Amino acid sequence: MNQNEFLNIVMPFKDKVFRLAKRLLVSTEEAEDATQEVLIKLWKNKAKIESYNNVEAFSMTMTKNFCLDKLKSKQAQNLKIVHSNYKDHNVSLQKEIEVNDSVNWVSKIIEELPEQQKMVIQLRDIEQYDYDEIAKMLNMNNTAVRVALSRARKAIREKLTNTHNYGIK
C-alpha cells in the first residue's frame, strides 16, 4: 500500500478520531497528539490495514484504548466536551444565550457520566455510529450498548430537567 492509498483510506475519518480523543482527553493539544499517535500506528501497520473489515472502527477502538491508557497514566478526571452541531444565525441573543447555557449544562452532565456511557454517547449521538460498530469498538454486545445509551440519555435528561426546573444542579 502506497502513501496515497493509505491517505485515501484514513483521511475520511481522521476528524472522528480527533473528536473521540478530544472527548476523552483534557485538552485539544492532547487530542491532537493522540490522533497523531493513532495515525502513526496505522501507518506502521499499513500492510495489515487492507485485511481489516472496517478500518474506521479499528481506528476508533485504537483511539479509545490509547486515550484511556493515557488517562489512567495521568489519573486525569477533568474531561471536557464542547459540541454543538446547530447554529441558527437568525436567533435572538436571548435564545442564543439559552442554547449555549443548555449545551454547557449537557456538557457538564456528560462529564459526570461513567466512562462507558460517555463513550457510547459520543459514538452514537455525536459521531453517528450504528450500534453494531459501537459494540465492536467498545467490545460490548449490542444490548449492552443500547442499555448504556439509554441510561446515559436518561441521566442527562433528568439532570437537565432538574437544572431547568430548580436552577440548581
Q: In sequence order, what are the residues at sequence separation of 6 or more whose Cβ sits closer than 8 angstroms to the Cβ of residue 155?
A: 109, 113, 117
How high is the pLDDT of residue 26? 67
Burial bucket for residue 22 (CB in 10 Å: 0-12, 13-18, 19+) = buried
- pLDDT single digits (tens) 58-106: 889 889 888 888 877 754 343 334 333 445 555 577 767 776 777 778 8
Q: Cα separation of 99 and 113, whole Å?
A: 21
Tell me: pLDDT of 55 over 50: yes
Q: How confident is the model at residue 6 (pLDDT cuts 50, 70, 90)?
A: confident
CA distance 61 to 106: 25
pLDDT of residue 75: 46
Q: Report the pLDDT averaged over residues 7-12.
A: 84
Q: How far is CA 140 from the centre of its chain?
A: 16
Q: Which domains are assigned to the chain?
A: 3-74 (1.10.1740.10), 93-166 (1.10.10.10)
Question: Which pLDDT score, from 0 to 100, does residue 81 have?
Answer: 40
Dist CA 93 CA 164 (whole Å): 19
Distance, in Å, from the CA atom of 81 to the CA atom of 152, rounded to the nearest integer, reads: 15
Percent of the chain with pLDDT over 70: 82
Residue 20: all three cell numbers together: 473521540
- What was the pLDDT predicted at 79? 38
> Which of 59-68, 69-78, 133-142, 147-156 is predicted least confidently?
69-78
Identify the DSSP state of 122: I
Q: How far out from the chain centre does Cα 84 lie?
A: 13
Separation CA 114–CA 103 (nearest Å): 19
* pTM of the shown model: 0.55
List the one residue out of 130, 148, 3, 6 whose CA is nearest residue 57: 130
Cβ(137)–Cβ(42) under 8 Å?
A: no
